[in-house]
Amino acid sequence: MTAQIIDGKQVAAALRAELQEKVAQLKDKGIVPGLAVVLVGEDPASKSYVTAKEKACGNIGIYSEDIRLPAETPQAELMALVDKLNKDDKINGILVQLPLPKHLDEGEVLLAIDPAKDVDGFHPVNVGKMMLGQKAFLPCTPHGVIQLLLKSNVKIEGAEVVIVGRSNIVGKPLANMLIQKNATGNATVTVCHTRTKNLADHTLKADILIAAAGAPNMITADMVKAGAVVIDVGVNRVDDATKKRGYRLTGDVDFEAVKEKAGLITPVPGGVGPMTITMLLYNTVESAEKAAGLK
């Protein structure tokens, strides 16, 4: 069996069209959602993510500020910037691109962001609310994965979900969201990580297998149950001399082999990636609506 491909670009485009419409309606009321994206340093992958976020904002009419700081920026300077953005009425969402250079205290920076502008859903207040099942900004990649599953008519309730990877950005929040007692939860979730023994014993049980480990092609066909839904969150740059830019993007899943075994599968690129940015736009619009007292 060859898997059906989940087209993240198409799902994202439909959601972005709805958001664009909403942004236009807000503009009629004099409200322009604003997002500040802060990048410290020169990490090439981070630079391209940030550029893509900026472009996506422009495309749907969200105001955005692109703030790029040198790698050696001191902690106090970054904290002062966050404080300034917290107080700026034009800005409804603040995103500090991670990872930060090693000398910076990521936890302190995330804690300083006003939870009402934390469109990444990384502030402990929002993480706590999410865990308690209260309304909060949901982190964009896990939220995007869930939207992709829903739009692909995958039944989450009762499914055996196996997540490979326990990051704060994907694995941990996604596991939490999928066990919530709500319409997008009620799954049975196993989280595997670098210390998991016999990884394949777990992954072979998955109705929905989510790879978010950051290891190229680590999920091979022999680790996947026939007919499973396979979601690849990995975005890895692999050297490739045949490409003009010298690398190609590859996921955590050995796509060519796994697509012959899975029932549904996301490609990289063009799967989860476009959804992450879409959910960022969604959170920014929602934040602007809340700030204007409309929600």
Contacts with ligand GUN, 236-255, as mask; x by CB under 6 A: --------------------
Task: Provide the minimum distance between the beta carbon of 235 and ligand GUN in the complex, in angstroms, as a whole number.
Answer: 9
Give the closest residue to 236 by CA, choosing from 218, 261, 224, 220.
218
Q: Identify which of residues 207 and 273 has a Cβ nearer to ligand GUN in the complex.
A: 273
Q: Which one of the listed residues 22, 117, 120, 207 is annotated catalytic?
A: 120
- Shortest gap between Cβ of 13 and ligand GUN (angstroms)? 20
Answer yes or no whether residue 98 interacts with ligand GUN by CB under 6 A.
yes
- Phi/psi region, residue 247 (left: phi>0; alpha: psi -120 to 50; beta: rest), is beta
Which stretch in 66-74, 90-98, 150-158, 194-202 sits in contact with ligand GUN by CB under 6 A? 90-98
39 touching ligand GUN, by CB under 6 A: no
Which residue of 140, 174, 223, 229 would you call a contact of ligand GUN, by CB under 6 A?
Answer: 140
Nearer to ligand GUN, 12 or 96 (CB): 96
In angstroms, what CA-CA distances link 275 with 26, 169, 272?
22, 14, 5
Rule CB under 6 A: say whether 169 interacts with ligand GUN. Answer: yes
The size of the interface with ligand GUN (CB under 6 A), counted in residues, is 9
Cβ proximity to ligand GUN, 115 vs 263, nearer residue: 115
Which range touches ligand GUN (CB under 6 A), out of 23-31, 70-78, 96-104, 158-166?
A: 96-104
- Amino acid of residue 284: T
Taking the least distance from each CB to ligand GUN, the nearer of 61 and 121 is 121
The CB density around residue 75, as the number of other CB atoms within 10 Å, is 13
DSSP 112-169: HS-GGG-TT--SHHHHHHHHTT---PPPHHHHHHHHHHHHTT---TT-EEEEE---TT
Cα separation, 196 vs 193, in Å, equals 5
Closest distance of CB 38 from ligand GUN, Å: 9
49 or 261: CB nearest ligand GUN:
49
Number of other CB atoms surrounding residue 99 within 10 Å: 13
Active site residue 97: yes
Angle subtended at Cα 236 by Cα 82 and Cα 177, rounded to the nearest 5 degrees: 60
81's CB contacts (< 8 A; 6+ apart) are 38, 67, 69
CB 98, min distance to ligand GUN, A = 4
Is 10 one of the catalytic residues?
Answer: no
Amino acid found at 202:
H
Residue ranges that bind ligand GUN, judged by CB under 6 A: 95-98, 120, 140-141, 169, 276
Residues assigned a catalytic role: 53, 97, 120
